[in-house]
Amino acid sequence: MDVKRRNFLKIAGLSAVAGLGASSAFTQLLKGNALASEEGAGGGETAAGHGAPEQGGHQEAETAFQYGMVIDIPKFAANKGLAEKCINACHYEHNVPDYGNPKDEIKWIWVDDYEHSFPDASQYKRNAGLNDLPVLLTCNHCANPPCVRACPTQATFKNDKGVVIMDFHRCIGCRFCMAACPYGARSFNWRNPREQYANGNYKFFKHGLNPNYPTRMRGVVEKCNFCPERLAVGKPPACVEATGDTKAMVFGNINDPNSEIAKVLNANFTIQRNSAAGTKPSVFYII
Amino acid sequence: MLEKALVGSNKYWAWIFFLLGVITIGGLFYLYQFNYGLGATGMSRDVSWGIYIAQFTFMVGVAAGGVMLVLPYYIHDFKAFGKITILGEFMAIAAVAMCIMFITADLGQPMRIMNVLLHPTPHSMLFWDMIVLNGYLFLNAICGWVILNSHNKGVHYPHWVKPFIYLSIPWAFSIHTVTAFLYCGLPGRHFWLTAILAPRFLASAFAAGPSLLVLIAMVLKRVANFDAGDKAFQKLGTIITYAALANFFFLGLEFFVAYYSRIPGHMHTLDYLFWGLDGHNNLVLPMRFSLTIGLIATTMLLFPQIKRNEGTFALSCAMLFLSLWIDKGVGMVLGGFVPNPFDRVTEYYPTVIEIGISLAVWAAGALILTILYKIAISVQAKEA
């Protein structure tokens, strides 16, 4: 009896220790969560009323600065070839390889139909023609990004402008972020993108090599980064520039009420992809 | 004690060299994958995890299954497990080693694996998985080795090991819970987004792990003159039966929630796995086969006559193990990816390279297991 009692006390003690450890781990977790969405925090007006439903007591503090994008789908439908122009501009700007097969495919921005872009939106008695619209898809630079939460090395992180960035040199290629992203925004370098012909030309850069942006090595994840290298010198992202003065894409700080994008968001009904996931996407669509 | 693994019959050495051969061939395949990139596998942008991660998930379960021996033996003082508890602990070591190998095989930049330690990230479940898996490896290595070493010297094991033994019990539950958290915390994938994923993982683990152990112990009875004892086999049979019943009960709950609520996202993967979706039905046959033999095996185990007959008991354990391997080692991970969150289906076909590397990891696990079991059995034989 005595021995059993002693054993029981030992176990009880150990469970208590384990319990303590678990609770502190939990606060750590919550902290990490907040960090992911609060970087560069401090006040700022909200652009509420667009997209993500209010989230009760779990609303994160808005970052002062959050780059976002409004994509005006009818304008893309009216300007045939505009979407392709955006895609080409982006994929050239960032040396995105093209292997010519879907298995190895890498894409930062692409077109899909309404049904598969917004599968959670009602497709029931959908009006004719809706599914023929070219919906331009890219990383949503979520205010609450699941990919940043999943990454075990902080190789993907949110910068002080609210942009979700990839550090190609830190990424270990575990692809947890790809499983975590609800938007399929992430691609993986399944093979070496830098492969060259004997004459020194790169095999997979369809538009030639852009010397102003680094190429990647195999085995890392990549995705749209809202062109921080262009923003730094006062230029808009490559895709936005490609739309010219059609206003098919509006880019800016969605948390600044005086920005052009905030005014567009205020004046139009916009939707977001899978807003029910609570990720607060920063890309908005006018349908 | 390692020297005990260096003496053995011709059959023992043939088995060792066979495993080394498989490991060498798989190693060459890995060299190719290392140089070419993960494009050598069947994975793609949509199905970004394949059989490596699926096998990893399954092996975490096998590792956790070892606790089904440790718990009755050390907490409930169930003496019949005296001889085979060490086998459970050593199986956990081999299984965790396999997990680490599968994860490494799946990395795009394996040379950077230490970045996980260099930049510790508590909000990533993969960080915690690394901690619990390595911790479990450490705990089982400590407990298994020290206790066996004491046996070898004919003394009682030192008291300082006890806390490690007790800690290894909740730790076993933690490894599979955290592994479930890798999946069930992701907002975009309905199939995994279920609070019952961790309990399902544990139930299938506590059926699959001990089933494998029963089969191995029966082989050891024939080739190594090691008898775990009838009482131990029967108790394991009971544990396997209850765990299998819990597993299929949980699976039934998933079916109910999906098909009674009729929420499309909840139904899609089950549709794909068991009926086919949009004409894609690669996994329908294996999944139906898995469910059928799993249910038959569980029913068989309910009959004492079947459990008491060694042949039929082995058959039901083998059927159950295969059933759970297909369910978790294939369907669980692929099901979450193949029907993607955008209502599209991208099928996945593992390549020869991928299968070769996976077989080599299995062979490496078998090699670790063989060496550890050889030592354990030699020590126990000396004692007897």
Instruction: Considering only the beta carbons, identify the residue of B48, B75, B115 that sits closest to A179.
Output: B48
Contacts of B188 in chain A (CB under 8 A): 146, 180-183, 274, 277
Which residues in chain A (56-95) have CB-CB distances under 8 A to chain B?
Answer: none
Dihedrals phi, psi of A110, to nearest 5 degrees: -155, 175
CA-nearest residue of chain A to B38?
A190
Indicate whether B57 pLDDT > 50.
yes
In a domain, B213, yes or no: yes
Task: Provide mean pLDDT across the span B375-379.
Answer: 91
Asked if residue B203 has pLDDT above 90, the reply is: yes
pLDDT in the model for residue A256: 94
Please give the tally of structural domains in chain B: 1
b/e sequence A206-229, b meaning 16+ C-beta within 10 Å: eeeebeeeebbbbbbbbbbbbbee
Q: pLDDT value at position B200?
A: 96
Q: Is B366 left (phi over 0), alpha (psi -120 to 50) or beta?
A: alpha
Enumerate the domain spans of chain A.
39-286
Nearest to A277 among B42, B119, B188 (CB): B188
Which residues in chain B are closer than 8 Å to A175, comparing Cβ atoms?
A: 48-49, 106, 108
Q: What is the DSSP letter of A106?
A: -
Q: Is residue B116 in a domain?
A: no
Beta-carbon separation of B182 and A190 below 8 A: no
The whole-number pLDDT of residue A200 equals 86
CATH of the domain at B297: 1.20.1630.10
> Do B45 and A35 make contact, defined as CB atoms within 8 angstroms?
no
Which parts of chain A sit beneath pLDDT 50? Answer: 1, 32-58
Instruction: Name which of A15, A115, A120 is nearest B170 (Cβ-Cβ).
Output: A15
pLDDT band at B70 (very low <50, low <70, confident <90, very high): very high
Task: Render pLDDT for B314-349 as a digit per residue (tens, 0 to 9).
Answer: 999 999 999 999 999 999 999 999 999 999 999 999
Q: Is A115 on the interface with B (CB under 8 A)?
A: yes
Task: Check residue A57 and give its pLDDT.
Answer: 45
Q: Which residues in chain A have Cβ-Cβ distances shorter than 8 Å to B124?
A: 32, 149-152, 176
Which residues in chain B have their CB less than 8 angstroms from residue A152's CB?
Answer: 115-116, 121, 124, 126-127, 130
Helices (H), chain B: 10-36, 51-65, 67-70, 85-106, 115-118, 125-153, 161-184, 197-223, 230-261, 264-274, 284-301, 304-308, 310-326, 333-337, 352-383
Distances in Å between the Cα of A36 and the Cα atoms of A32, B10, B23, B46 are 6, 59, 42, 25
The one-letter code for the residue type at A77 is: A
Q: Do B45 and A188 touch (CB under 8 A)?
A: yes
Complex confidence, ipTM: 0.92
State the Cα–Cα distance between residues B89 and B143, nearest whole angstrom: 8
Amino acid at B142: I
What is the total residue count of chain B? 384
CA distance A245 to chain B (A): 32
If you average pLDDT over every residue of chain B, what do you get?
A: 94
A 175-234 near B (Cβ less than 8 A): 175-176, 178-184, 187-192, 217-221
Establish if B77 belongs to a structural domain.
yes
Of residues A207 and B60, more confidence is placed in: B60
Closest Cβ–Cβ partner in B119, B123, B337 for A32: B123
* Closest CA relative to residue B7, chosen from B365, B381, B378, B383: B378
What is the per-residue pLDDT for A48?
Answer: 40
CA-CA distance, B161 to B31, in Å (whole number)? 40
The verdict on a CB contact (< 8 Å) between A184 and B186 is no
CATH class belonging to A39-286: alpha beta
- Give the DSSP letter of residue B72: I
Q: Identify the pLDDT of residue B188.
A: 87
Q: Give the per-residue pLDDT at A38.
A: 40
At position A25, the amino acid (one-letter code) is A
User: Which residues in chain A have Cβ-Cβ distances shorter than 8 Å to B38?
Assistant: 173, 188, 190-191, 218-219
Judging contacts by C-beta atoms under 8 Å, the chain B residues touching residue A117 are: 342
Nearest to A174 among B126, B265, B343 (CB): B126
Nearest residue to B63 (alpha-carbon basis) of B287, B185, B213, B193: B213
Answer whether A172 sits within 8 Å of B344, measured CB to CB: no
Structural domain including B40 reads: 2-110+122-383
What is the pLDDT, as a whole number, of residue A30? Answer: 53
- B42 contacts in A (CB within 8 Å)? 103
Q: Pick the closest to residue A66 from A81, A46, A86 (CA basis).
A: A46
Contact at CB, B109 and A175, closer than 8 angstroms:
no
Inter-chain touch B39–A15, beta carbons under 8 Å: no
Confidence of residue B224 (pLDDT cuts 50, 70, 90): confident
Helices B352-383 and B85-106 pack at an angle, to 10 degrees, of: 160
Tokens of A93: 């700007």
Is the Cβ pair B44, A190 closer than 8 Å?
yes
Distance in angstroms (rounded) separating the CA atoms of residues B384 and B377: 10
Distances (CA, A) of A260 to A65, A70, A225, A265, B19: 14, 10, 21, 9, 66
Task: Find chain B residues with C-beta within 8 A of A189's C-beta.
Answer: 37, 108
Lowest mean pLDDT among A41-45, A245-249, B287-291, B308-312: A41-45
Per-residue DSSP letters for B267-283?
A: HHHHHHHHT-BTTB-TT
Give A252→chain B minimum CA distance, Å.
27
DSSP-based three-state secondary structure for B70: helix
Closest CA to B284 of B293, B276, B296: B276
* Alpha-carbon separation of residue A265 from A118, A246, B340 (angstroms): 19, 17, 30
Alpha helices in B262-351 (DSSP H): 264-274, 284-301, 304-308, 310-326, 333-337
B324: tokens are 């759970």
pLDDT tens, position by position, B4-13: 888 888 999 9
Check pLDDT > 80 for residue B240.
yes
Q: Distances from the Cα of B258 to the Cαs of A276, B185, B189, B264, in angstroms?
A: 18, 18, 14, 8
Comparing alpha-carbon positions, the chain B residue that sits nearest to A112 is B342
Radius of gyration over alpha carbons of chain B, in Å?
Answer: 21
Q: For residue A154, which residues of chain B lie inside 8 Å, CB to CB?
A: 119, 121
Nearest CB to A151: which of B45, B124, B188? B124
Pick from B44, B127, B346: CB nearest A152: B127
The reply to whether residue A152 touches residue B166, judged by beta carbons under 8 angstroms, is no
What pLDDT, on a 0 to 100 scale, did the predictor assign at position A28? 52
Residue A243 sits at the chain B interface (C-beta within 8 Å): no
List the structure tokens of B303: 């009959």
